[in-house]
Amino acid sequence: MPVYERHVFVCTRGEWCPSVDGDGLGVHAALKSAVRSTDLGGRVRVNHSGCFSQCGNGPMVVVYPDGVWYAAVTPADAAEIVESHLLAGRPVERLRYDPPEFGSHQLEREADGRPIGRTAPWPARGEG
């Protein structure tokens, strides 16, 4: 028997997701809070994670055992991830990460840190 029904990992320890490419720490806190507001508490675990080597596309979130990856997640997306994916089993398609290949996919950066090729909005440092 698995220890948890689902395990949600949020990149909060990498160089970029926690505060440069978005608010990874806020995403983690919002997901924890949203899970706590449901009856999923004992079945779904939300954990901090180190870098997933997808830097520039984040904040990154991955849900196992589904193997569903989300990119450019904001704290405001947490409730939808919990309600749609974790409660109803329907991944949030608009947030799905679709990498071009297996493995590391770190975007190059402009001089100001902006990831080159990022399609999602990028909050400049300090804009959250």
- Kindly state the smallest distance separating residue 39's Cβ from ligand FES, in Å: 30
- Kindly state the smallest distance separating residue 43's Cβ from ligand FES, in Å: 26
Residues in a beta bridge with 8: 46, 63
- Kindly state the smallest distance separating residue 50's Cβ from ligand FES, in Å: 8
Do 11 and 60 meet the contact criterion of CB atoms below 8 Å apart?
A: yes
Residues in a beta bridge with 9: 47, 62
Q: Which is nearer to ligand FES, 25 or 40 (CB)?
A: 25
Q: Which is nearer to ligand FES, 41 or 50 (CB)?
A: 50
Q: Which is nearer to ligand FES, 17 or 31 (CB)?
A: 17
Give the C-alpha distances (Å, rounded to integers) separating 58 from 21, 29, 30, 118.
Answer: 6, 16, 16, 9
Binding site for ligand FES (CB under 6 A): 11, 14-17, 51-55, 58, 60
